[in-house]
Structure 1
C-alpha cells in the first residue's frame, strides 16, 4: 500500500492544481463540451461515415472499431469494479465535480480509453488524421480531470487500455 501513496498524493496535488483556480467554471464549460465528444455517439457516426464514403478502408475501420470496443469494454468494466477507486470529489472536500459521472468508480477512465481506441484506429486507417486524433483523445482525457471526475492516473491507465485494445484489434484483423 505504501508504494501507491506517492501516486495518490501526486494525483491529488494535480487535481487540486487543475480544479482550484478562479477560472474553473469557464474551464468546466469548455471541458464539458470536449468531454461530450467522447461520450460514444460520435464514434459510431465516424465509423458509419467512414464505411459509407470509403467502403474499403471504412469497412476495415468499422470492423476494427467493433472488435477493439468488444475487447476494451469488458476489460474496462472488470478493472473499474476490481479497483473500485473513488472519484476525486469523494476523496477530498477540496475537489469539486462539475458533472455527474455515469458510474461510481474512477479507475480507469472509460472516456479516455474509448478516445484512445479511436485515435489509434484513425491513425492506422487514416494516417493523415493521426496527430489530430491523438490531440483530441488527450483533450478528452484532460477534460475529465478538469471536470473533477478523474485523477491523472485514471487518464493514463485509460489511454494505455484504449491503445492496447486497438492494437490487439489491428493485430487480429490487420
Structure 2
C-alpha cells in the first residue's frame, strides 16, 4: 500500500475505533432499526408508492430511480470486488460487529450509497423534504459505522457514489420520459 493510502487507512481505522467504542448500549436497537430502514426493498416500495399515488412527478421519479439505482448498484459491486477492503471485524483484533453483513468487503457502503441515491432524488422532486431526507441518509451511514460493519471512509465513498449515481440517473431519465 502506498504511504498516503496507508495514512488514510490508519486515520480511518482510528476514527472507526473512536466512534464504535464510544457508543452507548441503549441506542443499539435504534441503530439497528435505522440501518434496516435503508435496506433495498424499502426504496423499491417507496418508489412504487410514489409512482402510483403522486400524479405530478411520480412516474418521472420512478424512472429516475430505476436508472439511478441501476448505476449505483453496478458501480458498488464493481468497486466492492475490485478494492476488496475487509470489514472492521476482519481487520481489528477483538472487534465484534453488532450485525452480520451480507458480504465480506466494506468499501463503499452500499446502504449509504442507496440512501443518498434516494435522498438526492427526493430533494430533486420534492424539495420541501430536503432536511428530513438528508438527516435520514446521514443517519443510515452513521448506523453502519455504529454497527461495526463500515469505516467512516466507506460511508463517505457511499454517499459520493449515491449522489453521483442519482445525478447521472436524473440526466438519463430526462431524455427517456
Same fold (TM over 0.5): yes
Aligned to 2:20: 19
Q: Distance in 2 between matches of 1:40 and 1:105?
A: 18
- Preserved CA contact (<8 Å) 1:19 1:96: no
Report the alpha carbon displacement of residue 96 of structure 1 after superposing the two structures with TM: 2.5
Segments of structure 2 that go 5 or more residues without pairing to the other structure are none
Aligned residues: 173
* Residues 28-47 of structure 1 mapped to structure 2, 5 A cutoff: 28-47=28-47
- Preserved CA contact (<8 Å) 1:27 1:146: no
Give secondary structure in 1 for the equivalent of 2:118.
helix
Q: Provide runs of 4+ in structure 1 moved above 6 Å.
A: none
Aligned to 1:114: 114
Give per-residue Cα distances to partners, 1:47-71, cap 9 Å, x unaligned: 1111121133011111110110111
Aligned to 1:100: 100
Report the alpha carbon displacement of residue 72 of structure 1 after superposing the two structures with TM: 1.0
- Preserved CA contact (<8 Å) 2:115 2:137: yes
Q: Distance in 2 between matches of 1:22 and 1:30?
A: 12
Aligned to 1:138: 138
Aligned to 1:166: 166
Report the alpha carbon displacement of residue 127 of structure 1 after superposing the two structures with TM: 0.6
- Preserved CA contact (<8 Å) 2:117 2:162: yes
- Preserved CA contact (<8 Å) 1:19 1:95: no
Taking structure 2 as the reference length, the TM-score comes to: 0.93
Q: Distance in 1 between matches of 2:74 and 2:22?
A: 37
Q: Distance in 2 between matches of 1:22 and 1:44?
A: 31
Report the alpha carbon displacement of residue 5 of structure 1 after superposing the two structures with TM: 1.5
Report the alpha carbon displacement of residue 21 of structure 1 after superposing the two structures with TM: 3.5
Q: Distance in 2 between matches of 1:27 and 1:131?
A: 23
When structure 1 is superposed on structure 2, of 27-36 and 72-81 the one drifting more is 27-36
| Pairwise CA RMSD | 1.2
Q: Distance in 2 between matches of 1:61 and 1:170?
A: 9
- Preserved CA contact (<8 Å) 1:16 1:95: no
